[in-house]
């Protein structure tokens, strides 16, 4: 089972996981979220950046070209993003899930929660469209 996110075990993510993503420039969305650890279930406040179907996070908001993400989520491999207040018993909570894993986040306000859900949802849909289109192109080219 491939793990969806890096750094859940306290290890730094592999630079290959975010290669070519200029996360320090013009993100689709960025902001503070509180994230639940995957193994140690503590809540930690991190600066998140969504860009090119990757959700990366940092300890602080001063993100530059030289910053190293503390973790990376491949949003394109996610299936759902939805509210999760009733699951974690905290306001403004949402979850991001695959077939195997679910990760929980808490935004600062209801508005920010909805904006993150919408942005991540758009990224999931855009990635699924691009995968479908590339599969169609490959299929057509093989038909000769």
Rounded Cα gap, residues 47 and 55, in angstroms = 10
pLDDT in tens, 73-118: 999 889 999 999 999 999 999 999 988 889 999 999 999 999 999 9
N residues, the chain: 144
Question: Residue 141 falls within a domain, yes or no?
Answer: no
Question: Residue 26 falls within a domain, yes or no?
Answer: yes
pLDDT in tens, 21-80: 999 999 999 999 999 876 778 999 999 999 999 999 999 999 999 999 999 999 988 999
Question: Residue 90 falls within a domain, yes or no?
Answer: yes
Domain count, the chain: 1
Rounded Cα gap, residues 133 and 137, in angstroms = 6
Token pair, residue 124, equals 């999931």
Question: Residue 133 falls within a domain, yes or no?
Answer: no
| Predicted local confidence at residue 129, as pLDDT | 73
Q: How confident is the model at residue 128 (pLDDT cuts 50, 70, 90)?
A: confident
Q: Enter the pTM of the model.
A: 0.81
Question: Residue 136 falls within a domain, yes or no?
Answer: no
| Predicted local confidence at residue 100, as pLDDT | 85
| Predicted local confidence at residue 144, as pLDDT | 46
The dihedral built from the CA positions of residue 26, 46, 66 and 102, taken in this order, carries a sign that is negative
Q: Has residue 138 got a pLDDT over 60? A: no
Task: Supply the range of the domain harboring residue 54.
Answer: 1-8+15-128
pLDDT in tens, 2-23: 445 444 444 568 888 888 899 9
Three-class SS state of 31? strand
Q: What is the CATH number of the domain that holds 1?
A: 2.30.29.30
Question: Residue 138 falls within a domain, yes or no?
Answer: no
Question: Residue 135 falls within a domain, yes or no?
Answer: no
Q: If you ran DSSP here, which 8-state letter would residue 106 be given? A: E
CA 86 vs. chain centroid, Å, equals 21
| Predicted local confidence at residue 11, as pLDDT | 57
């Amino acid at each position: 089972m491939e793990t969806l996110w890096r750094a859940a075990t306290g290890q730094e993510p592999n630079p290959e996981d975010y290669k070519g993503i200029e996360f320090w420039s013009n993100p689709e969305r960025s902001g503070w979220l509180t994230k639940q650890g995957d193994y140690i279930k503590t809540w930690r406040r991190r600066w998140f950046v969504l860009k090119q179907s990757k959700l990366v996070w940092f300890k602080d908001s001063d993100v530059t070209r030289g910053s190293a993400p503390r973790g990376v989520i491949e949003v394109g491999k996610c299936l759902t993003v939805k509210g999760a207040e009733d699951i974690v018993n905290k306001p403004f909570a949402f979850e991001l899930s695959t077939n195997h894993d679910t990760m929980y986040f808490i935004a600062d306000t209801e508005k920010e929660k909805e904006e993150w859900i919408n942005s991540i949802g758009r990224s999931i849909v855009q990635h699924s469209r691009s995968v479908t289109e590339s599969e169609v192109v490959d299929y057509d080219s093989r038909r000769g």
